[in-house]
Structure 1
Amino acid sequence: MASNSFGHAFRVTTFGESHGPAVGCVIDGCPPNHALDLAAVQAFLSRRRPGQSKLVTPRDEEDKVEVLSGLDLESGKTLGTPICLVVRNQDQRSSSYDDWHHIYRPSHADFGYDAKYGIRAWQGGGRSSARETVGRVAAGAVAEQVLTARFPTLRIVAWVERVHRLDARGDIDPLTVTREAVDGHPTRCPHAQHAAAMETAILAAKKNGDSLGGYLRLLVHGVPPGLGEPVFDKLDALLAQAFLSLPACKGVEVGSGFSGPELTGLEHNDHYRWDGDPKAMSTSTNRSGGIQGGISNGMPLDLRLVFKPTATVLKPQPSADDAGNNVDLQAKGRHDPCVLPRAVPIVEAMTALVLADCWLRQRGQVGDPWPGLDGPLKG
């Protein structure tokens, strides 16, 4: 199975299956001499942990991270060697999947894996399960620490903006949202009234054996100008790849996104201006979402992500098996009625991985600091 690694200079490989002994990651390219805060890594993992509220799967995993390599045992600093982080699985219930051994679950990866490999981990979905994202979040927590050590004002914040038809977009000021506000409600929507309505809708779907999807919003403050590579490795392309590689993510919108065509070119353009500080370039609007020509321009990154409803529902459904029979499927087991609350830290982690990789690639090309951090660019 190929394609288990992500990134270039800051490269992450995830490993493990949903019902295997453990999941985790190996990080290549993390700079040496960084004092890694393992408590912060653990806190990041706990934000995506199952069983944290009645809105998510009741699978009871502690998700305690172990460091197998890459840290100095005395100082806790990174050595510059591969960092291996592992989380042991503790609450697998493979018997819940016994009836699905030969049946393809609707809108899951089961058939695709069989068609590609001729074998699949039918217990819990193997690596197609969202359990795989444990390694991504652990690596993203490391990446965020590396980034904020270099860029102290950098701040990555994602939140639930819409669940099904309940949309909080018009009532939230995205520039003021904090992680603390987002984590203040189990839905991870920072608007109290909308969060309560979303909770009611998710619980109703759960009670009915159904599921809901929706939108996440992502803002990244303090991004330096100059990140991203022209042409094929544009920053927005890398972010889209990162997000679309997540289970259930089906779309990414950058800046004005699909509403951009409602404006004319003159209306849509973001006009540059110096703000008095010779290092402070900004734009009067941010319809580009902080990225132009595939390169960050110093404005906040602004993206929206679409997540489909969880594919596993507890209602009977028609399906097919691997013997050529059309059958009925009655799903059981423990699943998220809505993936959005736990997707928030996963999206933040993937964002940190992309930005850390882009920073190290940029530093390798032109050094650190680079021209874009030195003030007005000279001809």
Structure 2
Amino acid sequence: MDIIIYNINSFGGNYEYAKYLFESYQKNPEVKSAVLLMPENAVYNNPGVLRTLCTDLPATQNKLFKKIHYLYRSLVNPFRLLSFLKKQPPSVVIFNDFDQRTAWFWAPFFKPLKKKHQFAVILHDPDRDKFFSIKSLSETSMNAIMSFMDVAFFHGFLPDKPYYNHPFKRVDIPHGIYDDTAIDDSVYRQVKQEAGGDKIIGILGNIRDEKNYNIVIDALGHLNNVKLLIAGKAANSGVSTNVYKQYAAEKGVSHKIIWQEGYLSQGAFNACITASDIVLLYYKPSFTSQSGVLNTIAPFKKRLIISNAESSLKKSVEQYALGRVLPHDQPILLAKAVEELLSLSDDHFSANWNNYIANSSWQKHVSIAVEAFK
């Protein structure tokens, strides 16, 4: 079969996912050809990569022009895909990402192509209710996208939403493991030096309020010989780390926090994972899409603490016993869980992680997907 993967980003989690997925389809014996459509500014080089989509990094810092460009490419990219598909033989078309903001306009144009192609979507974040500030607009846009899909892939958990009531096949697939484990030694040494021999619990990645920093800061007051590593850049211009720094000062735990503010390269991110004894995926219930982070952590086999919110993350952590699942608003319980996990050896979790990794390969993902297409 012929595979066409549509990916609108040149960086970030979905971009990395698309590269691993594309290479796995290339290796599958039942796939005759695989094509990956990416933005013209993408730096990924591989036979079968076509840079036919609009750049997602416009040459301007003007916020208004950036918004206009975002809307422009949200309209243009689907029609570039449409034009490309009209010239291709019958293929399986996989939306690794999609332009939800303009879907109400472009989605109907794909329905006539269902006579020729199969369409599939990967629902990285399946709860799309909050894409627009008005829920009904989010539902309308997702209804438009799902209306022409033949297959919907999800990772462990698919919420009950009205836009998933269309007659497509639902397929649970493993996310796949990110196996880049190279670390930035300078970042690792700096973090360990600031820890001064204390154990480290880490909140890693983009800084956003949903990551529950205040509750974790509260828990620090109940912990001895433990420091908190906060590493990443602000998720958007509305996030200020000064709020958390001030809160930590009020609680008297500023000296227990190690800051690595700013963009983290993959090597720097890996260094922060390596330095952490426990990784906290301890989020508010409103933030549930974390399969990518889990599968970046997997090769390092770290102890995890996550919040008790329905998600693929919770399902995986419970199924494979990768850590503790706690209420999202209980700092004393959090502190006790940290102490408990730190008392266990690395070997206690190693076998569990090995089982998870064995069942979460990209090859297994593609094999399941190919059977669904057949």
Q: Which has the higher contact order (CA 8 A, sep 6+)?
A: 1
| TM-score of the aligned structures, taking structure 1 as reference length | 0.23
Looking at secondary structure, tell me which structure has more helix per residue.
Answer: 2
| TM-score of the aligned structures, taking structure 2 as reference length | 0.23
